[in-house]
A and B are shown apart, each in its own frame.
Chain A
Amino acid sequence: MGYTVVALKLAETTLQNSAMSPVEEIPVQVQGTNLYEASEKIYPREAKGIFQTWRNGCVLFLLGLYYLLPWVQWDARQAVLLDLPARKFHIFHLTFWPQDFIFLALLLVLAGLALFFFTAIAGRVWCGYACPQTVWTEAFIWMERWVEGTRAQQMKLSASPWNANKIRKRVSKQALWIGFSLVTGLTFVGYFTPIQQLVVDFLNLEVAGWSLFWVLFYGFATYGNAGFMREQVCKYMCPYARFQSAMFDSDTLIVAYDSKRGEPRSRGKKRKDTAEENRGDCIDCGICVQVCPTGIDIRDGLQYECIACAACIDACDEVMDRVELPRGLIKYSSENHDLGKHKSLWRTLLRTRVIAYATLLAVCLGGFVLGLAARKSFQVDIIRDRNALFSYTSDQRIENTYHVKVMNKSQIDQQYRVGVQGLDQAQVSWLKPELGGASRLVSAGQMGDFSLIVTTPTTNAIQGMQKIMFVFTEISGDKQESIQEESRFFGPRN
């Protein structure tokens, strides 16, 4: 029980300080605010409870998702493969091309809106439960605990002189961290190049060039962010941590200390000597500070360093159980709740801010799903020939030439037929159709660069320019899709 001793000593100093000041004043230990000094490493103490169970579950799920997803196979290929060298993204049965960029953009907008939505309702759940910074930091803390032991043991080891034991533990920890980082980097690159081959190559030391660079780069970033910088990324580098309060209102869930119930806090002899009605429920054990991964004291009120991991809630509940006081001295609460304005859950959820975010989210999600459902299996871009507006053929027809790019987004080789509408007696044909046919072939996932010729009799009065409509139709496949594309036909001005 080494940590209890440490906690007691800390508390004694606090007690001495507070003895000199008026009773109402709450002793506050200012931590990590002196920017001239090197930051002190935070050794978060392990907390156990309902929220930590949820949190560990989330972390394990997300880690599992990250490391296992590239290994899932689909139709004899990697299910999720962002094949940058081939400029296409495979995501299960869908394949996205650069032309589908709108979906990626929508996905990012959706992610942003979802973040706003959940922040408005439940505060920083993202920070505490799902942010990669949190997830990998937790994983690194687990490894650290596994090798070096509890918070107190870690602090003792850190303070102890270098000896065989310390070297052994530090080397083991670094080895674990570096190994884990390398696996993380390898998995990251495995999203962009087939992971099965990549791992085989890596084990044979045959990965070179940019793949190796990115494995090491991403591994190093993981090591640095999760092993060393940890909460400092949240405190100093994260933009979301600074502007998340803009999404907050007085009904947003926050981790809050019930100061009305807790204060005046007291401990030990002083607590015993104080009449029961004169002392708050906070026994000033300092455990809520010890478990905090960002090293703050939640009793000072809401701070932007708080990532809402709820470790202090679990820790305090455990302490309250032990001293036989009701739980919830530190709890998920909201400003309104603290002010005693009790609203039903539904009334709380149905507030303008939440409805606005939900509506935006629903519209974007609807657009995304509809767009995905209406996605055509091919795409056509038409550019008029810039060399000549029009020319005459030997059989007295007016001729216009168009350059056409046909993008076959499907998984099969496809032939395309073309027709034209909006021009009397017009004839349209590919410049070099397939032998014995009137279509052009584009291999699966490829883009074809073709020319189209449209002619109409000179008797046709064009009046300079006329809008026409091309219709492209697939020939093979289960359901033949067609696309209409508008363009212009030029002729002599009569």
Chain B
Amino acid sequence: MTGRRTQLIDIGIVLWISFISAGVATMLFFATFDPVEIAQLATFPLTIDRTAGYSLGFLLFWLLLVVNSGAILWLARNGLHRRSVEARGNNTAE
């Protein structure tokens, strides 16, 4: 399963599911915390308005989720365990 199209579909799934999850996370997070007040608590001087706060928050959630699910997909799809499973699968003529 390493065809170019499979990879494109993988990327699509990762991007899309992370996008939806990031949307939910952003909603939950910013309904509870005001980005302006969070910025004031920063350990370095940080001035952002709310729109920038929400936007950056969303993009950050998205990035984290893309990295997370991308890594999971990649690890689950590749590696020794996968090879042995596939070998066994071939022997039993699925």
List residues of chain A with CB under 8 Å of any chain B CB.
35-39, 84-85, 87, 98, 101, 104, 209-211, 213-214, 229, 232-233, 236-237, 239
Contact = CB atoms under 8 A, between A and B. Distances in A.
Interface majority SS on A: helix, strand, loop or mixed? helix
Q: Which of B16, B17, B32 has the most CB of A within 10 A?
A: B16
A239 B9 contact: no
Interface string B8-37: 010011001100000000010011101000
A36 B5 contact: yes
16 contacts: A35-B1, A36-B6, A38-B5, A39-B5, A84-B51, A85-B49, A85-B50, A87-B34, A98-B31, A98-B34, A210-B51, A210-B52, A211-B51, A229-B12, A232-B9, A236-B12
Given A35-B5, A98-B32, A239-B17, A232 B12 contact: yes
Interface string B58-91: 0000000000000000000000000000000000
Contact of B54 (A36, A84, A98, A239): A84
Nearest to B6: A35
A104 B26 CA distance: 13
Nearest to B50: A85
- Of B30, B49, B55, most A-chain CB atoms within 10 Å: B55
A36 B12 contact: no
Q: Interface size bucket, B side? A: 20 to 34
B78 to A, nearest CB: 16
A287 B32 CA distance: 53
A36 to B, nearest CB: 4
Contacts of A210: 51-52, 55
Contacts of A98: 30-32, 34
B45 interface: no
B52 A237 contact: no
A214 B54 CA distance: 12
A101 B9 contact: no
Given A36-B4, A98-B31, A104-B31, A236 B9 contact: yes
Give me the 5 closest cross-chain CB pairs, A-B, nearest first. A36-B3, A101-B31, A237-B16, A85-B50, A236-B9
Give the interface SS of chain B, mostly helix, strand, loop or mixed. Answer: helix
Nearest to A37: B5
Contacts of B31: 98, 101, 104
B13 A237 contact: yes
A101 B5 contact: no
Nearest to B27: A104
Contacts of A84: 50-51, 54
Nearest to B54: A84
B55 A213 contact: yes
Given A35-B6, A84-B51, 9 more contacts: A36-B3, A87-B34, A101-B31, A104-B27, A210-B51, A210-B55, A211-B51, A237-B16, A239-B17
Contact of A35 (B9, B12, B13): B9
B50 A35 contact: no
Contacts of A87: 34, 50
Contacts of A213: 55
Given A84-B50, A87-B34, A236 B3 contact: no
A211 B34 CA distance: 19
A38 B50 CA distance: 42
A209 B52 CA distance: 9
Nearest to A83: B50
Nearest to A32: B5
**Among A84, A209, A211, residue most surrounded by chain B Cβ atoms (within 10 Å):** A84
A284 B32 CA distance: 59
Contacts of A232: 9, 12
Contacts of B12: 229, 232-233, 236-237
Q: A213, A233, A236, A239 — which one has the most chain B CB atoms within 10 A of its CB?
A: A236
A439 to B, nearest CB: 26
A85 B36 CA distance: 10
Contact of B3 (A35, A104, A229): A35
